[in-house]
Structure formats: C-alpha cells, structure tokens
Copies of this chain bind each other. A is one copy, B any other.
Amino acid sequence: MIERSLRWGMIGGGRTGQVGYKHRTGATRDGTYRLIAGAFDLDAERGKDFGINLGVEDSRCYADYQTLIKEEAKLEDGVEVVSIATPNFTHFEITKACLEAGLHVICEKPLFFTVAECDEVRELAEKKNLIVGVTYGFTGHPLVRQMAAMVEKGMLGDIRIIDMQYSHGFNAGDDVGASEALKWRTNPKTAGSTFVLGDIGTHLYYLSEVVLPKLKIEKLLCDRTAFIKTRAPLEDHATVLMHYNNGARARLWVSSVNAGNMGSQRYRFVGSKASIEWTDSRPDQLIYEIQGEPNQILHHGMPYLEDESLAVDRMGALHTEGLGDSWANIYLWIAQAIDAKNRGDEAFLKTHKYPGIEAGTEGVRWLDNCVRSADLNSVWVNYK
C-alpha cells in the first residue's frame, strides 16, 4: 500500500463502453486512487451526467481532455494521475499532453501506433520524472506471478515450447450494425495497423514476457486474415510463430471469429522437465505437469505457492478471484511506482514489477514485427 490516495482522473471510459468499470473497480478498491475528475465522453453532457453519478463533482466533469488538463492544473488538489481509456489513435497525443502538464499516465493497450512514438514518450516521461503505466489487465492474477517464479527457479527446466491463445467468437458475424467500439477497432485510422493482434494479442505477448523475461524472439512469422472482408486490411484471425534465442518455439493464436468460444485465454509453457498451463477463465488454478508424475492442480492462496504469488493474493484460498482482482493489483503496482517516483525512490523502481512504458513499447514492437511478416506474405522475419 502507499501513504495516501492518489488524486485521479479519467479520460474516456464512459457509459458507452465496458472498459471504464474495470479501471474504476481496479483503482478504487484499496483506497489507492480517488476519482475526482474526468472527461468521460466525447458527448460532454452524457459524460457529465456519467461522472456525477460516480460521485465526481459537477465542475470537474469536463467536456474534453484539454479542458481537464487546463482546469485541474489551476486547483490545489488537482489530479495527479490520469487514466486514458479512449480509442487507440488518441493515446499518443493525450499521453503527451498529460505528461507535458506534469501528470502521471495510465494508458490502455496497445499503447501507441509506432515504436518511435513510444520512444518519444519514454524520453518525455523521464524528463518530467513521471510514470506511464499500461493496463495489461490480466497479469495481476497471483498465479501469473506464480508462473514467473516457477520458471525463474528452474522448476520447468529449459523452456522449449510456448502455446498461447486468445480467440473468442464475438465477432464471428459480419459488421452490419456493429458497435462503435468494433467500428474504430476495425478501421486502420483509429486502430492502427492491427485489429485482434493489438486488441487482444498484446495481452498474450505481455504475459509471456512476464513469465519468461529472459527469452528473446529471434524470428517471427505472422499469418493473418480477415474472414469478414470489411475488416481488411486489418485481421480478425492470426497465427504467429516465434523462435527464441534459447531454441524455444512458440505459437500464438488470436482471433475474434472463433464462433461460440467465450474468450478464454490459454497459456502453456513447456520445459524440459515440466509444463504449466493457465487460463484466465479459471484464474485461481494452475496446472503443473511434471513428466512421469501425477498432474498437479495448484490453487491460488495456498501456502505451498511461491512467496511472489502469495504476496499479491487478495481473496484467500477459499474464494474465487475475478478479473477485477487482477486489475486491482495492476493499479496498485502502478500506484506504488508513482509513489516511488514522487518520492524519488529509484532503487525501488529498479526492481518493482509493473507494466510500464517498456512493456507498452515492447508490445508495439511485437505488433510491428507481426505486421511486417504478414505484409511480406507471412514469411519469417528477423525480430527487430
């Protein structure tokens, strides 16, 4: 926990989408953040009504992010950190404006459109002494930390195979009458160079980085397509193959036309001694399979787990976790980074684990490589 609540504002995340609730339930749970301002909606009236309903004062529900930044700067207790939950194409300009105004930023993934933009923001944040957090919301589950600890301790042996999947069916039909959220996600101008790769594939990639921090991709092949033609040139289905510097091989499947599937992610990390398997749809269980021994099911919150996992467990072994609990950890870890940054505690920041600007940058870099391969007709490309 940190000393005091952070004064927090939101840009986007209003009534028309689902994402705002995840930010709020993640941020407010521990009293770590206090929501005091917002520019929640492109429709200023609707946004104001929404904010007031959340307990934000009338006068601090702003028409747009520019006004929020300007007006809050005038207040003694103005916001100090802002979350950005807007369409991808606005992330870069809003983040820069917030940082310029001295505000910490928490931004949705995929972070920006290019690695160059990421680099520019990283330099700006460093100059301004500010944190940029990225809401890879699934990696706050305690058993994700457990997987990372088990890999680090060599419990799997040498990593050989990585199999990852995030493939739901919610966009299996065509886009006639599509939601606003789907429209901007399938338009290159607002979504960037990818649809499902950026929208959900980056979750897979970031989680693999958390679990396997030492592995580096050497070669990558991306095969993508749009089964619903109006989504081209963006993709609603993709397979990515990867070769790592230690000889490991990965496959990643990302899709939103996997008809009937409710969206479960699935991760399997195979080593020379054992494998682990986890799905976000049952986040409280981890399958641990040592070759030649009975398969094991590990439960969150149990004393036999690694300390790294138990330290971040909120509910205790008897009780189920949900995605909200994972978001709460992500928001807490970012708060701890902000707090340390505010206190100038760089030593803490050196070892503190949270999804920051590096994680955001690597996600964009991975998308870059995917697109490069796909555009060359799905050939192998050297990772760069």
B168 touches A318 (CB 8 A): yes
A172 CB within 8 Å of chain B? yes
- As a 0/1 sequence over residues 220 to 242 of chain A, the CB contacts with chain B under 8 angstroms (1 = contact) are 01010101000000000101010
A352 CB within 8 Å of chain B? no
**Partner-binding segment picked from A66-74, A123-131, A279-287:** A279-287
Task: Please name all residues of chain B whose beta carbon is closer than 8 Å to the beta carbon of A160 when the two chains form the complex.
Answer: 227, 237, 257, 259
Task: Please name all residues of chain B whose beta carbon is closer than 8 Å to the beta carbon of A284 when the two chains form the complex.
Answer: 281
Q: How far is the CB of A61 from chain B (nearest CB, A)?
A: 14
Q: From the candidates B157, B258, B260, B289, name the one contacting A290 in the complex (CB within 8 A).
A: B260
A298 CB within 8 Å of chain B? yes
Q: From the candidates B249, B270, B315, name the one contacting A323 in the complex (CB within 8 A).
A: B315
A170 CB within 8 Å of chain B? yes
B227 touches A317 (CB 8 A): no
Copies in the complex: 4
Chain A, interface size: which category? 35 or more
In A263-309, the 8 Å CB interface with B consists of 263, 270-275, 280-284, 288-299, 302-304
Q: How far is the CB of A174 from chain B (nearest CB, A)?
A: 9
6 smallest CB-CB distances across A and B, nearest first, come from A260-B289, A322-B322, A294-B296, A263-B318, A259-B291, A295-B297
SS of A interface (majority): loop
B316 touches A18 (CB 8 A): yes
Closest to A305 in B: B294
Task: Please name all residues of chain B whose beta carbon is closer than 8 Å to the beta carbon of A324 when the two chains form the complex.
Answer: 29, 314-315, 321-322, 324-325
B223 touches A291 (CB 8 A): no
Known: A253-B251, A289-B169. A261 touches B275 (CB 8 A): yes
B53 touches A320 (CB 8 A): no
